[in-house]
Copies of this chain bind each other. A is one copy, B any other.
Amino acid sequence: MNKIINIAVVGLGQVGIYLLNELNIKKKDIELKTGKKINIVAISARSINKKRQFKINKNIFFKNPLEIFNKVKVDILFEAIGQSDGISKKLVETALKNKIHVITPNKALISKHGNELARIAELNKVNLEFEASVAGGIPILRSIKEGLATNKISKVYGILNGTSNYILSEMENSNQSFVYVLKKAQKLGYAEPGNPKLDLNGFDAFAKVRILSALAFNSKISKYKCLMEGIEKIELKDIKIASQLGLRIKLLGISELKNNHLFETVHPCLVSKKSYIGNVTGVMNAVILEGKPVGESILQGEGAGPGPTSSALLSDLLSILRGNIKNPLGVSVSRLKTLKNYNVNNYTNSLYLRFEVKDKPGVLSQITNRLAKYKISIKRIIQTPDKKNSKATIVIITHKTSELNCLNCLTIFKNNKNLLKNPAKIRLLD
């Protein structure tokens, strides 16, 4: 590698522009730590004139990022556009094929096309680095690939979506509804103003789970979606009841080997208020890793925002500048395992069930009889009458039961006229 390294940054949104500024102010530090001088030779974005936090050098601006490769010599490309396909994929592919190292925070791209892109990178002996794609500033991918390498990892899980975690924390703190808090989150920049759906429905966290699984289990990035639920259906009522029970609702991403089958899931979980994970609040992310011989490891930090993301992007840059040419997925793609998927029907949990019912005799016994028929035993039951409206809320905490059994058991209530709405169901973490 030469002493002077040419860099291109494509995508000048919040992350890209912050990164550009960091690259400029950290030049000396980077040289101190790697012996390399970095030189930004090209930048690209949809609009040259958009108002940005930091000034850009218009002399090196490209409207079409693919033209960069024809006009200037680039050693390392930062892709910060963020699409799962389209121009992001094309750009990354083209760069790798031109023997240009690529660094990206794009979890949508990596979780969808990571296997293929890693193969291209290996073939061309360049790096494809994506530390920033999972849990922002937390160096979790590097820790799995390097710091905890050779551990036999059995489970990785955690809070992987800062937006959801902020909303759940804020609903509890402010006693406000999901819709109200979402608007607040959008104002504060914690949720996307246009379409926050991918953060709220679990999709974003699921992409991260997939990347974590591949690294933790030395397996190909899976295509199969096991169980994905977001926080959109969580009501303030559930948060309040949970709190009375000493519990808190968290959106968890979980990746686990169950009998050598891959189990990947994202769903809201009830966790103890006293547990570690129950106390990771606001936009914080946390990843918990169970491995042998290391035991349980926890990494926590800010999961999103241009600062933490830039921290991860620059750590990727340093790794490349130090000459660490590595397989993007830790192990060569050709040697990654293809794991079978665990059957979600067998996923077993204690459940929190909330029924909103007409306040009349026999309703409770209808519910408990039905549960008994499916051998779902009850750990705890709380009935709260709302006499004025002739309604009642029945909350049941069950002992463990499988997804399938629960599903079968609850179907009957869909058309039950004594139920005012479908029962709410939240799983408890073991």
The proximity string for A residues 133-152 relative to B, scoring 1 for CB distances below 8 Å and 0 otherwise, is 00001110011001111110
Partner of A295, one of B32, B137, B325: B137
Residue contact B315 to A149, C-beta cutoff 8 Å: yes
> Whose C-beta in chain B lies nearest to the C-beta of A150?
B314
Residue contact B146 to A314, C-beta cutoff 8 Å: no
* CA A131 to CA B317, docked complex, whole Å: 22
Return chain B residues, CB-CB under 8 Å to A149.
Answer: 33, 314-315, 318
**A150-B30 contact, Cβ under 8 Å, with A143-B142, A279-B276, A296-B301:** yes
Residue contact B218 to A150, C-beta cutoff 8 Å: no
Stretch at the interface among A58-66, A302-310, A404-412: A302-310
> Whose C-beta in chain B lies nearest to the C-beta of A309?
B293
The proximity string for A residues 280-308 relative to B, scoring 1 for CB distances below 8 Å and 0 otherwise, is 00000010000111111111111000111
> Whose C-beta in chain B lies nearest to the C-beta of A306?
B293
Return chain B residues, CB-CB under 8 Å to A279.
Answer: 276, 279
Partner of A301, one of B297, B312, B317, B318: B297
* CA A314 to CA B294, docked complex, whole Å: 11
Residue among A302, A311, A324 with max Cβ neighbours from chain B (10 Å)? A311
A67 at the binding interface (Cβ < 8 Å): no
* CA A143 to CA B137, docked complex, whole Å: 11
A386 at the binding interface (Cβ < 8 Å): no
A391 at the binding interface (Cβ < 8 Å): no
* CA A113 to CA B142, docked complex, whole Å: 28
A29 at the binding interface (Cβ < 8 Å): yes
**A299-B298 contact, Cβ under 8 Å, with A150-B26, A322-B326:** yes
> Whose C-beta in chain B lies nearest to the C-beta of A218?
B32
Residue contact B298 to A294, C-beta cutoff 8 Å: no
A116 at the binding interface (Cβ < 8 Å): no
**Measured between C-beta atoms, what is the minimum distance from A136 to chain B in Å?**
8
A360 at the binding interface (Cβ < 8 Å): no
Return chain B residues, CB-CB under 8 Å to A243.
Answer: none
A335 at the binding interface (Cβ < 8 Å): yes
* CA A322 to CA B279, docked complex, whole Å: 38
* CA A315 to CA B144, docked complex, whole Å: 10
> Whose C-beta in chain B lies nearest to the C-beta of A136?
B294
**Measured between C-beta atoms, what is the minimum distance from A22 to chain B in Å?**
7
A236 at the binding interface (Cβ < 8 Å): no
**Measured between C-beta atoms, what is the minimum distance from A17 to chain B in Å?**
13
**A315-B138 contact, Cβ under 8 Å, with A296-B301, A310-B293:** no
Residue contact A318 to B150, C-beta cutoff 8 Å: yes
**Measured between C-beta atoms, what is the minimum distance from A3 to chain B in Å?**
15
Interface residues of A in 1-53 (CB under 8 A from B): 18, 22, 26, 29-30, 32-33
Return chain B residues, CB-CB under 8 Å to A318.
Answer: 146, 149-150
* CA A302 to CA B286, docked complex, whole Å: 17
Interface residues of A in 368-404 (CB under 8 A from B): none
A363 at the binding interface (Cβ < 8 Å): no
A–B complex contacts, Cβ < 8 Å, 7 sampled: A149-B315, A150-B317, A279-B279, A293-B308, A296-B301, A297-B299, A323-B325
Residues of A within 8 A of B (CB): 18, 22, 26, 29-30, 32-33, 131, 137-139, 142-143, 146-151, 218, 276, 279, 286, 291-302, 306-308, 310-312, 314-315, 317-319, 322-326, 330-331, 335
**Given A142-B143, A146-B318, A150-B318, 20 more pairs with CB closer than 8 A:** A26-B150, A29-B150, A30-B150, A33-B149, A33-B218, A137-B293, A148-B311, A150-B315, A151-B311, A279-B279, A294-B301, A295-B302, A296-B301, A296-B302, A297-B299, A298-B298, A298-B300, A299-B299, A322-B326, A323-B324
